Structure 1
Amino acid sequence: MRIAVTGSIATDHLMTFPGRFAEQLLADRLDRVSLSFLADNLDVRRGGVAANIAFGLGTLGLRPLLVGAVGADFEPYRVWLKDHGVDTDSVRVSGTRHTARFVCTTDRDQNQIATFYAGAMAEAREIDLREVTARAGRPDLVLISPDDPQAMLRHTRTCRELGIPFAADPSQQLARLERAEVRELVDGADRLFTNEYEAALLCEKSGLTEEQVLRQVGSWVTTHGEAGVRVRAEGRAPLTVHAIEVPGVVDPTGVGDAFRAGFLAGTAWGVSEQAAAQLGCAVAATVLGSVGTQEYHLSGEQLLTALRTAYGCRYETELTTPLRELT
């Protein structure tokens, strides 16, 4: 199964604040916030939602197709992704703008304050998936993750016109999208990905109830942090999978992207949704134990051990063969 991942490609600047953001926010002054946090550490890492997911899929042995827009400074990043199994030949390089930047500060309670600069990502709307499929072949699934809003809409429309199954992952861009745009991105999606907060925001922005959303998608996959993940589809009981406990969380950045990579890899291998969600949780747990979104290594035995410990031997069986092929 060939998966194309469209969306942001960025450089992450990750900082840690040893205190608590909540202790610096004054309830009666929230309309005039002016704060500066002295960070203890700075890590500059590769990131961007689409690149993170594509990296995860590549490390799991798939060869995902990455589709997005970057600046001329992308070349070292391109080499890194190609070395990890990602097809980057459909990435558009801007002649005038820098690759997008994500600047994020995390406090001692793992709360985060972040700013995202789009940069070259604004040119993603110029990418035509028809040209991508002409070059690389027709993908079996297109994941439409946060990107330039017009690019997200264009890719969704093209998938419908070409009859290519697509998965919707609007997440961070929900705040920028209008009601009609949210509805267009969701309608007909093979899968819809959100976290718990985004699920509520999606309903508010679209004006749809959860039941109405479920009528429009194949399944709705919602992550709930430490509480795990819930998969719902119209006409069947919800599926709940608990998260894998991680002692000493290092950095939560990119954990949702890692879950999506694991879940989609399981889907590509044809395993059940339960096994796919469990694999997603195992990959997410690995990322929680490292700084940055692509600074981890996956091995089949490591993942099988995590799955066995968290879910028992009977849940490991479906994933044994594909995971043992990983080095």
Structure 2
Amino acid sequence: MQIYISGSLAFDRIMTFPDKFSNHILPDKIHILNVCFLVDGLDEKFGGTGGNIAYSLSLLGEKPVLLSQVGKDFSLYDAWLQEHGIGVAGIRTVEQEFTAGAYITTDQSDNQITGFNPGAMKYPCQFDMTIIDPDDALGIISPGNLGDMMDHPRYYRANSIPFIFDPGQQIPAFTGAQLAEALGGAEILITNDYELEMIMKSTGLTKGEIVDRVAYLITTLGEKGSVVNSKGEETPVAAVPVSVVADPTGAGDAFRAGLLKGLAMEKTVVEAARLGSVCAAYAVECKGTQEHRFTLEEFTKRYEASFGPLE
């Protein structure tokens, strides 16, 4: 089965300020704020929801196709994706823009100041969806270009292609009507518990009404695991124990990769969510969203230690 991932590709540029922001901000001058923080260098990581999901899927033996958009500075990231067997034919290059980038500065109290440049993400990916084989395809729409996040579900619905809708941090950018339309007919709507509340508030739909519009609703709960809801049923899925919590940032994207792998293997949604829990554990144990590594043998052993035989 060919997996198509609609979502952002971005550079995470991480800086550390060796002091506290509060020591350099005058409260009585906040209305004319003008500050400069001298940081201890810069660490650049590959990121974006689409890239993160695709990376973990590559570790699981899949060769997903990314549907995204990038800028004139993408060459190193492009080589990284191709090195891991990730399809780049669906990535549009917008030459006059930079690839989306997050500029994150963290102080000694773990306070953060982030600037985000959407860059090429302002443009639709313009992928020719008609080349997708409806009988052998699975899609996920994760946070990225808003037009793609509306258009791709429409195409999948019209052509009976199963898809996961994962609006994440783009929820506030949609109207309630747009969200209700985009999630309708999804095989799975996946959110964390806070995002689910935001969707309910924006659309005016109850949890039960949302479940009626999709085949499954998965709610992730961090260290408490996740819950799979279908009509009349609710099944908890445990989180997998981790050796160390190094960075939970990429855990959600890794979970989605494991979930997609399970669906591609024709597992039940609950079984697929368990694969997601295992993949998320690897991500939590590493700093960065595409830094974790595992072999399929290691992954299987870890799955079986938590959930029993993987058949």
The normalised TM-score by structure 1 is: 0.84
Cα RMSD, aligned residues only: 2.8
What's the counterpart of residue 73 of structure 1?
73
For 1:280 and 1:54, the matched residues in 2 are separated by: 13
What's the counterpart of residue 228 of structure 1?
225
Q: Give 1:44 shift.
A: 0.8
What's the counterpart of residue 322 of structure 1?
none
2:203 is aligned with 1:198: no
2:176 is aligned with 1:176: no
2:310 to 314, 318, 321: 318
For 1:109 and 1:285, the matched residues in 2 are separated by: 26
Q: Give 1:242 shift.
A: 1.9
- Aligned residue pairs, count: 306
Question: What pairs up with 1:93-242 in 2 under 5 angstroms?
Answer: 93-105=93-105, 114-124=114-124, 126-130=126-130, 132-133=131-132, 137-138=133-134, 140-236=137-233, 238-242=234-238
What's the counterpart of residue 56 of structure 2?
56
For 1:109 and 1:233, the matched residues in 2 are separated by: 42
SS at structure 2 position matched to 1:87 = coil
For 2:261 and 2:166, the matched residues in 1 are separated by: 16
Distance 1:40 1:231, change over 3 A: farther
Q: Give 1:250 shift.
A: 1.5
2:301 is aligned with 1:305: yes
SS at structure 2 position matched to 1:4 = strand
Structure 1 stretches of 4+ with a deviation exceeding 3 A read 15-21, 31-42, 104-115, 125-128
Q: Give 1:129 shift.
A: 2.0
SS at structure 1 position matched to 2:89 = coil
For 2:36 and 2:223, the matched residues in 1 are separated by: 29
Q: Give 1:16 shift.
A: 5.2
SS at structure 1 position matched to 2:282 = helix
The runs of 5 or more residues in structure 2 that have no matched partner are none
For 2:227 and 2:36, the matched residues in 1 are separated by: 37
For 1:156 and 1:7, the matched residues in 2 are separated by: 13
Q: Give 1:306 shift.
A: 2.4
Judging by fraction of residues, say which structure has more helix: 1
For 2:46 and 2:57, the matched residues in 1 are separated by: 16
Q: Give 1:101 shift.
A: 0.6
What's the counterpart of residue 325 of structure 1?
none
SS at structure 2 position matched to 1:264 = helix
Q: Give 1:126 shift.
A: 3.6
The code of the aligned residue for 1:163 comes to: S
What's the counterpart of residue 261 of structure 1?
257
CA deviation string 1:262-298 (max 9, x = no partner): 1110111122333322221111111111121111212
2:74 is aligned with 1:82: no
For 1:77 and 1:254, the matched residues in 2 are separated by: 17
The code of the aligned residue for 2:289 comes to: T
